[in-house]
Homo-oligomer: A and B are copies of this chain.
């Protein structure tokens, strides 16, 4: 099974949500990408439909926007 991808940007909302989500989802089923630290992935995230972070892109292509930390526009 393809992994889910958790995109975040190091903001407090992101870090808190990341901790919670990673407690719930088995670690081997999710990849964590820090868009603040790896700007080259912002485009991938946007293509996947991510509008804001933190967000979880599932292996079925669905995007779960979790709370609101920062707009993807602000990460470019």
Contacts and interface: CB of A to CB of B under 8 A. Distances in A.
Contact of A58 (B20, B62, B64): B20
Q: How many copies does the complex hold?
A: 2
Contacts of A62: 16, 20
Contacts of A25: 24-25
Nearest to A25: B24
Interface residues of chain A: helix, strand, loop or mixed (majority): mixed
B64 A65 contact: no
Interface size bracket, A side = 10 to 19
A20 B60 contact: yes
Interface in A1-51: 4, 16-17, 20-21, 23-25, 29
B16 A4 contact: no
